Structure 1
């Protein structure tokens, strides 16, 4: 029998490991109202951002589907969408319509139609209160680990990452695959140089070519700005940590995906198929943009491997942070959850470290809070931009 966990079953069959009430801003001008409402309601989580206005059509669609993905995430039990006016293509009604397809309750408030911020705050607070009363009645039900969509990411990587924590995370991902689960590996600029290794694992030549086409497209986007990605990757903190080239960083970063078959290559925000295995997602290396896209695709939990230590945490998707660097653990143990420095010390095998991560994943799925959840370090939400503001 596969590993079980206890989660919140949604009307569409998804299983969440949290039961958040999401207070979702449709536009920058609704942010303050969202934050006031969330600060009033126990258990509410605000998602705010600086977009939703004066964007090109393609960029506005990116914002729209990111916000929809937040509301559709299995860890969300109900949603209040707050809008300022009406930006066609990203209105509160349009956002709520897509989220409601999951079967979860959604309410909307428009600040102008409510006659200003004070009345809008009152209306949204009242709606949020009654939604919270409803979802607070929900109880966890038994679910199988095969229902997990496992997020993989890394940041502030150093020489220990590709030798220890990333490899152990790959072992954990492989175990989830053996039990019928799926994983998402993103950050395309940090896969450049690992193409041969990854394409050899793609289930079909078409999937392999899709990956190569997306890698080429990403590099062309960077070159079109007049810059070369090799001037930004590796990043400054990577270089301080001993990583010398983008290829070295990519070969270490790709280890997070383990050895399982690559089922498909996803566009940013795209939801994967149900087939077990690894899915690659076209996202930037920017950590918050990357994990936001993974959460929008439906991931309930993400493990973030960090060489130098990190505070990143997605507001809706528990973000377990691991490190194989003993110095980083000693400095950042308030926000890093798991010390894997025993790998390089010769005290813990890769397989044992993978099991340590897996056990932590199951505990967090069952309700154990990560350190950054407790501290409300919700630094991990950002929307990837396509075009210029207009």
Structure 2
């Protein structure tokens, strides 16, 4: 299927200003990441991040006693967060010597990006106090180095755009989601790429998604992987319709998973779908939409998108939301006037004018686009200002062992 170019509007290709990394990527932020390799390093990581100006802590409850596939996913997500272009440098802290999630294996993988990486092992340092001191000192010098980095001009071909939604209601599929889709289309026309995730919330939208696939192979992959996700859920003995739509979706007027899916898929606009990638996998370089195999759980979903390298995400919400990823600025939009009034401390854009008749979908798409470009260039989201970092959770496949 060819893209409907006759409907496109002409734009001047916009520029944004970011931090160039040694691997050629461009970051919207210049964070120093203090990264926990395993659960038992979390307290040291938090103490270090609380001491160092501008440092972002990443802590979690995994990194050991996992099945091989789950442990590899944890490793890929943690390294992907560190390799995200919004991160300028990394200090990794581990506890003893876990498989994969240790300072040696992680530093080796992260250093492929060319960015500076420092490591601290709690046992080798002589305990938590010594490890904290060592990590603070290493982080201090890294932070000083990063403070010399300057923003430079970039274009949309250097942008990977994250798309997600949550607390969806009846306004989502007819207002904020299609407006976000128009923003995504514009970014792709200027050479960028977008990630559409949340596979359980694409069930029922397969015909529309496959019609946009760049070829039959990709169309077949879309159908196969959505079906595979449903089968994974059914294999647990649970029917997804017992938890999707969620309680807040039902309160917002959504009645079926198909209704939710058809509205949610609108976030991806009308651009060609280039491929389907696995959780936290970096998409290809061709402009277009890439579907990512993530759960509908918001924090797990946007974590996969951030670990894949997206610099900014827009989160469409009907009922309002506080979610925000620690390293990927998260712009929240709503088309529900009441939700805007109740949740405007953490929601950035009010698009309720679409349903009120004072704002066209195209105008709303331009508002989102302009906000994205400004955030790429340094404007803070409300959640960044409030240090809302609830949007980090690593997806799991199997049981703890």
Answer yes or no: same fold by TM over 0.5.
Answer: yes
Structure-1 separation of matches of 2:266 and 2:197 = 12
SS at match of 1:275: coil
What's the counterpart of residue 49 of structure 2? 38
SS at match of 2:353: coil
From 175, 181, 189, the counterpart of 1:164: 175
Q: Report the more deviating stretch, 86-95 or 373-382.
A: 86-95
| Structure 1 residue runs without a partner (length 5+) | none
SS at match of 1:344: helix
Structure-2 separation of matches of 1:159 and 1:32 = 42
Map Cα deviations across residues 96-142 of structure 1 (whole Å, 9 max, x no partner).
11110010000110001111100000000000000001111000010
Structure-1 separation of matches of 2:100 and 2:54 = 30
What's the counterpart of residue 141 of structure 1? 152
What's the counterpart of residue 330 of structure 2? 319
SS at match of 1:87: coil
What's the counterpart of residue 80 of structure 1? 91
From 296, 307, 311, the counterpart of 2:318: 307
What's the counterpart of residue 278 of structure 1? 289
| Structure 2 residue runs without a partner (length 5+) | 1-11
Per-residue deviation at 1:280? 0.3
Structure-2 separation of matches of 1:59 and 1:368 = 36
Q: How does 1:146-157 map to 2 (within 5 A)?
A: 146-157=157-168
Q: Where has structure 1 moved over 4 Å in runs of 4 or more?
A: none
Structure-1 separation of matches of 2:296 and 2:99 = 30
From 340, 345, 351, the counterpart of 2:351: 340
From 381, 384, 389, the counterpart of 1:370: 381
Q: How does 1:147-226 map to 2 (within 5 A)?
A: 147-226=158-237
Per-residue deviation at 1:254? 0.2
Structure-2 separation of matches of 1:222 and 1:133 = 47
Per-residue deviation at 1:347? 0.3
What's the counterpart of residue 50 of structure 1? 61
Structure-1 separation of matches of 2:224 and 2:37 = 33
Structure-1 separation of matches of 2:118 and 2:232 = 38
Taking structure 2 as the reference length, what is the TM-score of the superposition?
Answer: 0.97
Structure-2 separation of matches of 1:88 and 1:52 = 8
What's the counterpart of residue 115 of structure 1? 126
Structure-1 separation of matches of 2:137 and 2:89 = 14
What's the counterpart of residue 4 of structure 2? none
Map Cα deviations across residues 350-387 of structure 1 (whole Å, 9 max, x no partner).
00000000000011011000000000010000000011
What's the counterpart of residue 227 of structure 1? 238
Q: How many residues align?
A: 390
What's the counterpart of residue 64 of structure 1? 75
Per-residue deviation at 1:199? 0.2
Structure-2 separation of matches of 1:37 and 1:13 = 29
Structure-1 separation of matches of 2:247 and 2:260 = 12
SS at match of 2:315: strand
SS at match of 1:288: helix
Structure-2 separation of matches of 1:3 and 1:27 = 41
Q: Report the more deviating stretch, 265-274 or 15-24.
A: 265-274
CA RMSD between the two structures: 0.6
